[in-house]
Amino acid sequence: MKRIAFIGLGVMGMPMCCNLIKAGYPMAVYARRPETLKKVVAEGAEAKSSSAEASKNADVIITMLPDSPEVEAVVLGPSGVLEGARPGSILIDMSSIAPSASKRIAARLGECGVRMLEAPVSGGQPGAIAGTLSIMVGGDQADFEECEEILKVMGKSVVRVGGIGAGNTVKLCNQIIVALNIAAVGEAFSLGTKAGVDPAVIFSAIRGGLAGSNAMDAKIPLVLERDFDPGFRIDLHIKDLANALQTGRDLTVPLPFTSLIMQVLQALKVESKGDLDHGAIMTFFEELAEVTISK
């Protein structure tokens, strides 16, 4: 069984790492917060003093970090993955970062004989806990096949979408659709609620038709309960859409609605809602309509 190093034990990384430990994989871990390390050590992981130390004896190194600068620092920086990883090992970066950053990191690793897959995920904290994430993989086919079993411990849908850069491109497509979907649901439910229709009834009536979506199924029950505890924070969605807009500029692809929903997210951040779940996008439309979508 492959030896794994896991670096990045946040809201998503912690349950993903724990699922791999439960599946029997030998696990070395590194995180900056000692209390985080204690949790996974209790599950059977071996704590290390740096990313380099964690990577030293690993066949597969998994990173789950906030954005491109953090991944580049952890992988390529002092005491980073590249200092410890041996030639022939594979880095699976499961962070959601800019496609251009993935290509830079993969090129640098390749110079030292370390292979790379990018494998950003969708499904939020609930999917990470349940091991039901959707995983979009970019990289070499042979490397994907070698790591597919590991990825399937963490996800119910594991699809190789192309070479390095393709995985994060598909993730950006996903994030555009999710943000705009939640916005559309918020706008529509604000209208229906203001008109006097029970929002729970609206949900029941339309969820099985063409307007139905996983985003609506996931978010409306929480909004009805006024539950905005973060499964995926607005701040992180802002980060993803910033990467999408930059990629659009790089490729000369107009993204007018992405630009618009980015302004909505930034307005929510100004209202100190950046740490709320992205389902709180709906509150923007509630405030405009002076209505509350709730039971």
Q: Which residues are catalytic?
A: 171
Cα radius of gyration rounded to whole Å, the chain: 20
239 and 66 in contact (C-beta within 8 Å)? Answer: yes
Residue 117 host element (H or E): strand 115-118
228 to each of 30, 139, 198, 202, 238, how far by Cα in Å?
29, 35, 20, 20, 16
Interhelix angle for 214-224 vs 166-194, to 10°?
A: 50
Tell me phi and psi for residue 57, to 5 degrees.
-110, 15
Taking the C-alpha atoms of residue 196 and residue 82, their distance in angstroms, rounded to an integer, is 59
137 and 158 in contact (C-beta within 8 Å)? Answer: yes
**SS3 category, 38:** helix
CA atoms within 13 A on the CB side of 124: 19
71 and 97 in contact (C-beta within 8 Å)? Answer: yes
DSSP-based helix, strand, coil % in the chain, nearest 5: 55, 15, 30
How far is it between the farthest Cα atoms of the chain? 64
